[in-house]
């Protein structure tokens, strides 16, 4: 039975700032199943699909710089329920507020369990590109303190690549604090890099341009009615993000760029990248959901306990 929308979830229109005509162009490069799953991931912020009896489920926990997303997918790979809360408990892949991270993750997991009517037992986690594997212990401890056993640890680009079916190309993950990139060749990551410049920098520019505080700047980024104003104001920031990628992919043969992460929702950012790099640039629908969906897809399927 569907549940009411969680208070921690943002309004549906805040997850997609693109006009329908632009989105349709981008969708041509995205597989049908991936589009359906990403659309369902957003839909499941507000509704729930109750799993079948003894259905094996997969759970992914994405501890991002700007938000924490926990997603449960069913045996068919489609999301059953999603919980999201904005948070600043991690920075550049490092957990900087352990207690806060545990509290939020535990609360989101509890909401999912209530919505689904069962006890979740396992989950996968992921790390940004270039982060020392030893640092994943903090992510693991956060998830385990939330009552879940960590079944898999992977890098975020591999998670995104799973969803998008990437064999060759570059995944650019633009999060709250950094622009990360991973070069894929024959389905394997052969080069990674991560540099400062992300959604926080966009907010800082908006603060200076409009004389508003950080929270209002963050809210402005998400308003469809302000998308064009934001695009004009932060164009230099988007160009800097593209220049970071251009510098790092020099020497690699690249024919396609894929943009994921919450900050990729900025209007026109794919055109800035295409113009700067001279390479076809694709932005999936609901780019914020690509990595958490991929994390869940890479988790070990497990029977869940009836609550």
High-pLDDT (> 90) share of the chain, % = 67
List beta partners, residue 118: 306
Span 12-16+31-159+289-306: which CATH code?
3.30.420.40
High-pLDDT (> 70) share of the chain, % = 87
Q: What is the DSSP letter of 88?
A: -
> Do 12-16+31-159+289-306 and 162-288 fold alike per CATH?
yes
pLDDT in tens, 127-185: 877 776 666 788 899 999 999 999 999 888 889 999 999 999 999 999 888 898 999 99
List beta partners, residue 95: 90
Give start and end residues of each alpha helix (H) in 16-130. 20-27, 32-43, 98-116
Query: Which phi and psi angles does 5 have, rounded to 5°?
Result: -65, 135
The domain defined by 162-288 carries CATH number 3.30.420.40: yes
202 Cβ contact partners less than 8 Å away, ≥ 6 residues apart:
217, 221, 230, 234, 237, 263, 266
- The domain limits of the chain are 12-16+31-159+289-306, 162-288
| This model's pTM is above 0.75 | yes
pLDDT in tens, 33-60: 999 999 999 999 999 999 988 899 999 9
Does residue 196 register a pLDDT over 50?
yes
What pLDDT is stored for residue 177 in this prediction? 83
Does residue 110 register a pLDDT over 50?
yes
């Amino acid at each position: 039975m569907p549940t009411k929308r969680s208070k921690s979830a943002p309004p549906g229109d805040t997850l997609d700032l693109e006009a329908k005509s632009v989105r349709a162009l981008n969708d041509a490069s995205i597989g049908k199943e991936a589009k359906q799953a990403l659309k369902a991931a957003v839909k499941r912020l507000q509704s729930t699909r109750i799993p079948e009896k003894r259905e094996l489920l997969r759970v992914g926990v994405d501890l991002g710089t700007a938000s924490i997303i926990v997603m449960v997918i069913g045996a068919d790979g489609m999301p059953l329920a999603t919980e999201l809360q904005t948070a600043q408990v991690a920075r550049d892949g490092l957990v900087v507020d352990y207690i806060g991270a545990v509290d939020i993750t535990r609360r989101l997991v509890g909401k999912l369990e209530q919505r689904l009517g069962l006890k979740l037992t396992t989950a996968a986690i992921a790390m940004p590109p270039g982060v020392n594997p030893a640092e994943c212990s903090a992510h693991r401890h956060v998830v385990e303190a939330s009552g879940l056993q960590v079944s898999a640890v992977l890098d975020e680009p591999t998670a995104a690549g799973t969803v998008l079916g990437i064999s060759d190309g570059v995944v650019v993950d633009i999060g709250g604090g950094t622009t990360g990139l991973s070069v894929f060749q024959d389905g394997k990551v052969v080069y990674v890099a991560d540099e400062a410049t992300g959604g926080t920098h966009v907010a800082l520019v908006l603060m200076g341009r409009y004389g508003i505080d950080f929270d209002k700047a963050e809210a402005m980024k998400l308003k469809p009615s302000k998308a064009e104003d934001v695009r004009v104001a932060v164009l230099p920031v988007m160009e800097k993000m593209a220049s970071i990628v251009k510098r790092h992919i020099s020497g690699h043969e690249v024919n396609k760029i894929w943009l994921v992460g919450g900050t990729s929702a900025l209007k026109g950012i794919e055109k800035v990248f295409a113009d700067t790099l001279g390479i076809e640039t694709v932005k999936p629908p609901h780019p914020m959901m690509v990595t958490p969906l991929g994390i869940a897809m890479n988790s070990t399927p497990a029977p869940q306990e009836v609550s």
